[in-house]
Homo-oligomer: A and B are copies of this chain.
Amino acid sequence: MGERGAAVAAALVTASGPLPARGAAAPAAAVPDAGLAWDDEGMIVYAGPSSGLPWPARVGSPETGCLVPGFVDCHVHLPFFGWRSDEFEARLRGVSYRELHGEEGGIFRSSRMLAEAPDERVLAFCQRLVAEMAASGTTALELKTGYGLSVEAELRQARLARALAERAPQTCTVTLLACHAVPKGLSRAEWVAAACEELIPAAAAEELADAVDVYVEDIAFSLEDLERVAEAAAAARLPLRVHADQLGPSAAAEAAVRLGARSADHLNHLSRDGVEALGAAEATVAGLLPASTFFLRAPAPPVAALREAGAAIAIATDFNPGTSPVCSMPEAIAMACTVYGLEPLVALTASTANPAWVLGLGDRLGTLEPGKRADFLLLEEAGFAQVPYRPGHDPVVATFVGGRHVAGRVLH
């Protein structure tokens, strides 16, 4: 049991209403001269004008700053072990991701580095990173497997993810990225069969996973593979996620919608049909990953068309050592606003409430309203626009999870 508390600031900005909130129709609302109060279980009991606070605030100042929900990063390839900045340098000399993929670099290299590191070294490496994410405002995140590339190694990575979740200050969910790359020595069909018949049931039996993900791409897995994995996930009662249309158009987004996936992520080569499918989707969020777009110099997804079609959008880091070594949500938000043309308040909803829904946490966190968890940030300036306006600057004064101060400057 913690202590009850309250915070004040010049403004409070949060999304609210039914989730997932849809594109242009769901800007966040700002309350000036605001207060937020939470009880001794870390649950919000009040969010509104500071005059209505049930007890005095000991965090923040009424003259300055902004209270916003903590960022929810719904696409994260942690746990991994070791960097690949040498591949980044190689790419700058003109060697492409496609050329690297399937050889000794890329996913296979991360797989080997993970396999060779003892559990404690992996956890120590990742704990520093989730601490850094907390400092830049991430209060809930996904952890993904996908660097195992065998049934046993995927299960080990899922166990490492659960262990990391125990040590992280944030709420973490675990996604089994059952199909990321075809393991060496197996055919694609053999690996899909192993993933569906062994990996997913074993992970579900051990309660290691909260969702299942597939990388659909001509260099990776097909729509038929996705259908098979979706069946196995449904049988294990696990929601589906999809890496869709990143390197080329494959109609994966349409399939994701048809299969009821929680999100279709990347979307750099989304077709007009894909836009319409996501626009009409009841339950599939368009996951925008601007940092990997930036790193790969990829075309931007059709974000304006998606919003016009009524799609719900989320922004995530895609944090991974190959194509998106960015773990800062402010950085991803800055890129989403400037490169994809999102207004700051739309980006706020897309980086809090909507990704909380994607991770199945929408009833517990992602907005600042009574009954949700007091996962919030005190930002330096009164307007949320300051976050995308100043890339490379740390806008977060302090990060709170469940009312507990987990990162940032001392406040009182």
Contacts and interface: CB of A to CB of B under 8 A. Distances in A.
Interface stretch (A80-88, A155-163, A222-230, A240-248): A80-88
A80 to B, nearest CB: 13
B92 A341 contact: yes
A409 interface: no
A389 B88 contact: yes
A166 interface: no
A134 to B, nearest CB: 14
Interface in A329-346: 330-332, 337-339, 341-344
A63 to B, nearest CB: 15
Nearest to A291: B391
Nearest to A345: B89
A385 B89 contact: yes
A326 B388 CA distance: 11
Given A297-B338, A338-B297, A88 B392 contact: no
A132 interface: yes
Nearest to A340: B92
Contacts of A392: 136, 326-328, 330-332, 391-392
B389 A85 contact: yes
Given A86-B385, A89-B344, A93-B343, A391 B338 contact: no
A171 interface: no
A79 interface: no
A327 B394 CA distance: 11
Contacts of A332: 392
A383 interface: yes
Given A85-B385, A338-B294, A338-B297, A326 B92 contact: no
Interface string A331-370: 1100001110111100000000000000000000000000
B326 A391 contact: yes
Interface string A370-412: 0000000000010101101111111000000000000000000
Interface in A298-326: 325-326
A125 interface: no
Interface string A74-113: 0000000001011011001100000000000000000000
Contacts of A330: 392
Nearest to A317: B392
A191 B404 CA distance: 58
Contacts of A86: 383, 385
A55 interface: no
Contacts of A343: 89, 92-93
B85 A326 contact: no
A83 to B, nearest CB: 7
Contacts of A136: 392
Of A325, A342, A388, which is in contact with the most chain B CB atoms at under 10 Å from its CB? A325
Given A88-B385, A92-B343, A385-B89, A390 B338 contact: no
15 contacts: A83-B389, A85-B386, A86-B385, A88-B389, A89-B344, A89-B385, A92-B341, A294-B338, A326-B390, A326-B393, A327-B392, A330-B392, A331-B391, A391-B392, A392-B392
Interface of A: 83, 85-86, 88-89, 92-93, 132, 136, 291, 294-295, 297, 325-328, 330-332, 337-339, 341-344, 381, 383, 385-386, 388-394
Please give me the 9 A-B residue pairs with the lowest Cβ-Cβ distance, nearest first: A331-B392, A328-B392, A85-B389, A85-B385, A88-B389, A325-B390, A89-B385, A92-B343, A326-B392
Given A86-B385, A326-B393, 13 more contacts: A89-B385, A92-B337, A92-B344, A294-B338, A294-B339, A294-B391, A295-B338, A297-B338, A327-B393, A328-B392, A330-B392, A391-B391, A392-B392
